Amino acid sequence: MTTPAARMPTTQDFEQIALETLSALPAHLREQMEDVVLDIREFASPEQLASVGISSQWHLTGLYEGRPIDERSSWESGTLPAMITLFRQPLLREWRETGVEFEALVRHVVIHEAGHHFGFSDEEMHALEDSAGD
């Protein structure tokens, strides 16, 4: 999906790209993402910013909230599902300022946050991004 320059991407555009990105993950990883909630917000909340040590709402484009799979216990129960949140305004700003293709930018952030779900290193996240067709 190419977003015309005359039209600002909508929340639905973000969601569609994010869902397509998750669908393109290798099957064994995609299955482990089924319970992860995807959310699109305009900006991160003050609590979300504080949780990652960022002071400006313009500097956080995505966030994974949850316990990575490799840190979970079979004894856990009653916890909220893991969540990936994309922050629309900071992503739009980065898209305008960098000229990076919109779909590629959203795909990169989704895969990076999905990588946190698996407890991946940055190197493993890059490999995941490559395997998802970026």
Note the pLDDT tens digit of each residue in 83-95: 999 999 999 999 9
Single pTM value for the model? 0.84
Look up residue 95 and give its two tokens: 């898209």
pLDDT at 77: 62
Angle at 17 between CA 9 and CA 42, to 5 degrees: 50
Name 94's Cβ contacts closer than 8 Å, sequence gap at least 6.
Answer: 61, 100, 105
pLDDT in tens, 8-42: 899 999 999 999 999 998 898 899 898 899 999 99
Give the residue from 74, 78, 76, 62 showing the smallest Cα distance to 117: 62
Contact present, 89 and 59 (Cβ < 8 Å) = no
**pLDDT above 70 for 133:** no
Give the pLDDT confidence of 62-71 residue by residue, as tens digits. Answer: 999 998 887 7
DSSP-derived letter for residue 25 is S
Residue 55 DSSP code: -
Alpha-carbon distance of 86 to 40, in angstroms, equals 5
Q: Which domains does the chain have, with CATH numbers?
A: 11-66+81-131 (3.30.2010.20)
